[in-house]
Amino acid sequence: MPGGHVGYQGSSLKINPSVRNKGTQIAPTGHGTDPVRLFVKGVFMAYKGGKKNQVNHTQLIKLQDVNSKEATQFYLGKRLAYIYKAQKPNKEGSRFRVIWGKVTRSHGNSGVVRAKFKKNLPPKALGKKVRCMLYPSSI
Amino acid sequence: MGQAGQQRSKQKKICNKKTVKVKKTGEKKTPKLRKNIQPGQVLILLASKFRGRRVVFLKQLESGLLLVTGPYSLNGVPVKRVNQRYCIATSTKVNLGGADFKSISDAYFAREKAKKGAQTQEKFFATEAPKKVLPQEKKDGQKKLDEPIVKGLAEDMKSYLKSRFSLSARTFPHEMKF
């Protein structure tokens, strides 16, 4: 499952959790290594809930420049990644960790989207960036 | 005062007992190919080492995966299998120029089965795993496959395939036409 790849490819920031060179920068290849962004930026706005309730298993995500319900149609089913840094590096030397999720449905009329993650997002993620990948693609 | 009336009085469905076709074990259907993916189409890879690369679609394999090639000399993408869901089909099409990829199937990509023979002393104490090098015949096959495709490409198409797709500050995929 290509779930490991979240990073900008070719960037000097070693974001890619499955990069094999431990702790070193990604060496530039001969075919162009400018950073490539293949995800839409989003923000983890809130957990689902009303005035008195909070439903922790569903998160509300605001995707950049998605401002209407029709616009969210494209993003339904797309995978989401919440990336955070940890102290201890993993086997491949990366300190970045990911919580994967997906866009489940739209929320309201202004382009906010509901999402479910494999593990509920921690509250420290509120207001933090979330990446909406372009896969699974249907175009 | 529990359930709403609508829930309780929901009609039970009476199933028609249709004759069910007994599936033969191991019978698999090749997943449907998206309508807009034709041989020669340029696809954008969304994940894996080659994300952002524009590649040429050759054919759909039996397993449902798409067979694509860079071509290798242009963008470093070899003959590769890709899942439909991990690529965006652009409206650009390339003339395949009679490239021969009939012989390439899922078996071409199968891993070499390690021979479970007698574990020799050397193997057991070997500290380094033998390096997996792509056999020369596969490298030659790659070149042979790519030749007719690359020949038929205009200069701008070549640089198009060399370039990588990326979202920038003001581009949003739900507004883009690929």
* CB neighbour class for B94 (10 Å; exposed up to 12, middle 13-18, buried from 19): buried
Whether the per-residue pLDDT at B11 is higher than 70: the answer is no
Chain B nearest-CA distance from A124, in A, is 26
pTM of the predicted model as reported, rounded to 2 decimal places: 0.73
d(C-alpha A53, C-alpha B24), whole Å: 50
pLDDT band for B25, please (50, 70, 90 cuts). Answer: low
Interchain contact A55–B (C-beta under 8 A)? no
Whether the per-residue pLDDT at A81 is higher than 80: the answer is yes
Nearest residue of chain A to residue B177 (CA atoms): A139
Chain A residues with beta carbon closer than 8 angstroms to that of B87: 137
- For chain B, positions 72-91, list CB contacts with chain A under 8 A: 75-76, 84-89
Nearest residue of chain B to residue A3 (CA atoms): B47
b/e burial code for range B98-132 (CB count within 10 A of at least 16 → b): ebebeebeeeeeeeeeeeeeeeeeeeeeeeeeeee
Nearest residue of chain B to residue A135 (CA atoms): B86
Least confident span in A26-30, A129-133, B80-84, B157-161 = A26-30
Say if strands A55-63 and A39-48 run parallel, antiparallel, or are unpaired.
antiparallel
> Is ipTM strictly over 0.90?
no
Least confident span in A37-41, A72-76, B109-113, B151-155 = B109-113
Condensed to tens digits (0 to 9), the pLDDT of residues B109-143 reads 887 776 655 556 665 666 666 666 777 878 888 88
Whether the per-residue pLDDT at B162 is higher than 60: the answer is yes
B88/A139 touch (CB, cutoff 8 Å), yes or no = yes
Mean pLDDT of chain A: 81
Whether the per-residue pLDDT at B23 is higher than 60: the answer is no
d(C-alpha A61, C-alpha A59), whole Å: 6
Average pLDDT (A106-133) is 95
